[in-house]
Amino acid sequence: MTVKTEKIHCITIPTPFLVGPVNCYLIEGAVLTLVDTGPKTEEGLNVLKSRIKEIGYTMNDIEQIVLTHHHPDHVGLTASFPHAKVIGHKLNQLWLSRDRVFFEQYASYFKTFYMQHGLSENQLKVIERSSLGYLHFVDRTNVDIFISEGDTLPGLPHWQVVETPGHAQSHLFFIRDTDRMAIGGDVLLASVSSNALLEAPLDGEERPKTLLQYRDSLQKLKDLDIKELYTGHGEKIKEVAALVDKRLASQEERAKVIYGHLKEGPMTVNELGAKMFGRSHEKQPELTFSEVFGHLDLLVQDELVSEVNDGDFIYFKAK
């Protein structure tokens, strides 16, 4: 299919998640491309079909799906496009194919990890239910083409691929070199700060320090001379550098608050989560745990905090 003028259409899909609706982007270029798909819900599928039809196409016309990252609100309907190649970071394959060994190792790693850091059996059950929810909102499929830092998007040679891990290890960012327009998934959002979600290490690798990665990814954005950033949720962003500075400063302020709590005495991540987030820590322990742990990684890097293992639990203490 040949399209004379390349256009970007924002398609906003409802989700059942607290983050709210997700933005997908239809690029009318030499190859008709959809960036992200929304979660696998009947409502989401109907809205996606309807919006694609309004623009002048059907699901069968989509030639390729490009994924910003593997989270269910972004990839759930990927298998709904019968003629589309699926393109994304290689780590998407482990999630989308539901690799059994990967899922088993992932669950085993985090069960031990969470218990070491003080989470209760009840909290572990809440996290397990949340993790199983991933399978409910994503159809099994495969990634056909892997892309990484420095590549261009197939069929869209002006779109550069930038790796931006932190919110997800699979996270990619795309920028059009002709006008510096970018599609950024969840790397930077206008109204909320993306959580640097913890992920289990792959075999033989160290645990990803996700907030430190995320801070590096945010710094990358400042160097890209972005004119406008189309986001995964909410409004597009024009003043990218200013917002990056705001997000980095906010992270440093939160780290100071955690450091203040640790000045009172050593605490587990679970104890810090309860202090920082109260009831939200009981309802969404996976998210609050990631938030606290990421800032602890930052404090450890700055040599303000150290880790102590008493044989039963791991504590953090202020130096």
How does DSSP classify residue 69? -
State mean pLDDT over 285-296: 96
Three-state DSSP class for residue 100: helix
Q: Is residue 255 in a domain?
A: no
Q: Which among 31, 89, 90, 32 is positioned nearest to 59, based on CA atoms? A: 32
| Domain assignment of residue 12, yes or no | yes
CATH number of the domain bearing residue 223:
3.60.15.10
Number of domains observed in the structure of the chain: 1
- Residue 1, pLDDT above cutoff 50: no
Query: Is 281 domain-assigned?
Result: no
Q: What is the pLDDT of residues 164-189, one digit of tens each?
A: 999 999 999 999 999 999 999 999 99
Q: Is residue 157 part of a domain?
A: yes
Q: What is the pLDDT of residue 5?
A: 65
**Residue ranges making up the domain that contains 16:** 7-96+139-245
Compute the mean pLDDT over every residue in the chain, rounded to the nearest whole number.
95
293 inside domain: no
Q: What is the DSSP letter of 59?
A: G
126-134 LR contacts (CB < 8 Å, sep 24+): 126/282, 126/283, 126/284, 126/285, 126/286, 127/285, 127/286, 130/284, 130/286, 131/107, 131/286, 133/72, 134/72, 134/95
Answer yes or no: is 158 within a domain: yes
**Cβ–Cβ < 8 Å for 174, 66:** yes
Long-range contacts of 42-51 (CB under 8 A, 24+ apart): 43/14, 44/13, 44/14, 44/15, 44/76, 44/77, 45/77, 45/80, 47/11, 47/12, 47/13, 47/14, 48/11, 48/13, 48/24, 48/77, 48/80, 51/9, 51/11
Tokens (6 digits) for 237: 């962003």
pLDDT tens digits for 66-120? 999 999 999 999 999 999 999 999 999 999 999 999 999 999 999 999 999 999 9
Q: Is residue 295 part of a domain?
A: no
Does pTM top 0.85 for this prediction?
yes
C-alpha 43/C-alpha 184 separation (Å) is 24
Place of tokens 């995964």: 232
174 located within any domain: yes
Q: How confident is the model at residue 2 (pLDDT cuts 50, 70, 90)?
A: very low
β-strands 172-176, 156-163 pairing: antiparallel
